[in-house]
Structure 1
Amino acid sequence: MARPDKAAAVAELTERFRTANAVVLTEYRGLSVAQLKALRRALGGDATYAVVKNTLSAIAAREAGVEGFDAQLAGPSAIAFVTGDPVAVAKGLRDFAKANPQLVVKGGVLDGRLATAADITTLADLESREVLLAKAAGAMKAKLFQAAYMFTAKTGEAVRTIDALREKRATEQAA
């Protein structure tokens, strides 16, 4: 590869590092082209998955301000540049790796910090954003119902007491 081509590749990778929400580094040794194509489809619009040269990726990561990433770059590497939901991409990689054990997640970068393979697995085990939001909304709704009950409980108790006094007076007057 000629020098200008390498400079262009580094510039493109640097831009991807800067614009990505997260970056997941994998080893793809033993995967066929068809399997890589299936993985790209599985990740969908949330990420772009590209086979990269380690030295160019290390340079691009440093230029993008990501320190320590080059330590993870060993062996045949491919990077998932996440532009959407990192949890969905982590789940997609985990599920694909279950079916294809040749795919190994090495680590990555989440919110500008280095992440280990265990961090990516933990991220994949999280529920989706929509489910977490629904649970939070349900918890808030339950607290609102509880507060509404507390506010109406004393009023209801007062109404029952007044009604009981009214009945008592009616029975005393009848007797």
Structure 2
Amino acid sequence: MALRTKNPNRQKTEAIESIKNDVKASSSFIFTEYRGLKVEQITELRKKLRENACSYKVVRNNFARIAFEDANIKDVDSWLTGPTALAMVAEDANMAAKTLFEYAKDAPALVIKGAVVDGEVYDAKQIEAFSKLPGKKDLIAMFMSTVNATTSKFVRTLQAIVDKGGAEAGAPASEEKPAEQPAEA
């Protein structure tokens, strides 16, 4: 959906280009409705999302539609109705989703409509289920603790072998001759 006017407004084309650049720079998008949130709440939410390498931007639906169409991202038109804000995620979409759903508990006016996570389209229920999964950093930490536990157990086993039989196994075997016994007549 390209601009269909002979003389487009410079401000509108700049706004569309800004959204296009944000879309290109992000790997995932979470669509929300912010109707009923106060400015202070949106500012607080932006701050929390920024901690997770995510920006939160209120967009005009028609401009966003054009930007997503140019980026060849489909099936988002149904979420571009009403007051829409986009959480644009650069790194870990899971952490951004967790942050949004945790914030929505305190501010029920925040409605998560759906998401595009690394090219996959998620509806509201799917993105909520996704937010309950462990994040990338959590999974790496779990994996590393498993590797660390296995390695630690192996080292402790080796140490136990050394402690138990190390003196016997490590000492050179002394050759003792059996005592000669007198011959019986």
Relative to the length of structure 1, the TM-score reads 0.78
**Alignment partner of 2:23: what SS?**
helix
Q: CA RMSD in A?
A: 2.9
Greater fraction helix: 1
1:21 counterpart = 2:18: no
Equivalent position of 2:9 in the other structure: 3
Quick check: 1:61–1:70 contact (8 Å CA) kept in 2? Answer: no
- Structure 1 distance, partners of 2:102, 2:54, is 15
Q: Deviations over 1:115-165 (max 9, x none)?
A: 21122212221223333212112223344466678999999xx99xx9xxx
- Structure 1 distance, partners of 2:89, 2:152, is 39
Which structure 1 residue ranges, 5 or more long, are not aligned?
A: 163-172
Larger Rg: 2
**Alignment partner of 1:61: what SS?**
helix
Quick check: 1:24–1:79 contact (8 Å CA) kept in 2? Answer: yes
1:51 counterpart = 2:58: yes
Q: Structure 1 residues 154, 37: CA separation in 2 closer, same or farther (over 3 Å shift)?
A: closer
Equivalent position of 1:131 in the other structure: 138
1:70 counterpart = 2:77: yes
Task: Trace 1:31-46 onto structure 2 (pairs within 5 A).
Answer: 31-45=37-51, 46=53
1:97 counterpart = 2:104: yes
Which structure 2 residue ranges, 5 or more long, are not aligned?
A: 1-7, 170-178, 180-185
Which residue identity is paired with 2:30?
Answer: V
Q: Deviations over 1:85-117 (max 9, x none)?
A: 212211110111000000000012111221211
Relative to the length of structure 2, the TM-score reads 0.74
- Structure 2 distance, partners of 1:141, 1:37, is 41
Q: What is the aligned length? A: 165
Q: Deviations over 1:31-75 (max 9, x none)?
A: 111111111112124111111111111111000111111122111
